[in-house]
Amino acid sequence: MTLAAIGLGSNLAHPRRQIARARYALTRLPRTRVLAVSRNYLTAPIGTTGPQPDYVNAVAIVDTSLTPRALLARLFEIERRQRRRRDPDGPRNAARTLDLDLLLFSSRRLHAPGLSLPHPRMHLRGFVLVPLVEIAPHAAIPGRGLASRALRAVRNQRVVPTRVHVSR
């Protein structure tokens, strides 16, 4: 009933496999249908100290009758399931292998603890805008105008499609 956009990102533990698993997990969400998923894109991490592997990013459009909160809770659940197992001797906050962001929820605009809609920084992020515009070329971001226009403003960010999908 409501179209939502979800951002997927990973840069640890076989990122493309993480994204592929997350894509599948989205198809199993209750009261939700996946309408489109973008290709995978590679993005070099920006603003990090020390070297980090590239990110793999994608965006999915779903049709859902869940509330934004319920959908977000389900996304956290998927993240949790795919979080790297913690090594008891390792650092306390083991890095997350998967990030799922609720980017858009139709016209919904809200600022609440833990949930802002639309995602407050999505219009600045090439790795969100490129895959979003691939599958939803005419999408608008509430309060920000067209996604394609926002994309033109960040075209200096390097976001390149990966060659193939990992099918699993």
Partner 1 sequence: MDLSKRRYVVVEGPIGAGKTSLARELALRFQADVLLEQPEDNPFLARFYEDRARYALPAQLTFLFQRVDQLRALTQLDLFRRPTVADFLFDKDPLFARLNLTDDEYALYDKIHAHLKPQVPSPDLVVYLQAPVPVLTERVHRRGVEYEQSMPESYLARVADAYTRYFYAYDDAPLLIVNSERLNFVDDPEHFELLTRRIAAMRGRREFFNLGQSA
Residues that bind partner 1 (CB under 8 A): 1-3, 5, 33, 35-36, 61, 63, 65, 104, 106-107, 136-140, 142, 148
Q: How far is the CB of 37 from partner 1 (least distance, A)?
A: 13
Instruction: Please confirm, yes or no, whether 99 is among the known catalytic residues.
Output: yes
Q: How far is the CB of 72 from partner 1 (least distance, A)?
A: 18
Q: Which two tokens stand for residue 98?
A: 């998967």
CA angle, residues 144, 147, 148, in degrees to nearest 5: 130
21, 74, 101, 125: which one is catalytic?
Answer: 101
Q: How far is the CB of 142 from partner 1 (least distance, A)?
A: 6
Q: How far apart are CA 13 and CA 16, in angstroms?
A: 9
Pick between residue 29 and residue 98 the one whose CB is nearest to partner 1. Answer: 29
* Whether the Cβ atoms of residue 87 and residue 54 lie closer than 8 Å to each other: no
Active site residue 96: yes
Cβ nearer to partner 1, comparing 14 with 33: 33
Kindly name the residue from 17, 54, 99, 108 that is annotated as catalytic. 99
Query: Measured from the CB of residue 136, what is the shortest distance to partner 1 in angstroms?
Result: 5
If phi > 0 it is left, if psi is from -120 to 50 it is alpha, else beta; for residue 32 that is beta
Report the sign of the C-alpha dihedral through residues 38, 167, 67, 6, in that order: negative
Q: Which is nearer to partner 1, 8 or 56 (CB)?
A: 8
The residue with tokens 């993240």 is: 79
Q: Which residue carries 């407050």 as its tokens?
A: 120
- Choose between 30 and 142: whose C-beta lies nearer to partner 1: 142
102 within 8 A of 83, measured Cβ to Cβ: no
Residue 99 pairs in a beta bridge with 9
Q: Which of 84, 144, 149, 158 is catalytic?
A: 84
- 84 catalytic residue (yes or no): yes
Q: Per this entry, what is the length of the chain?
A: 168
Catalytic residues: 84, 96, 99, 101
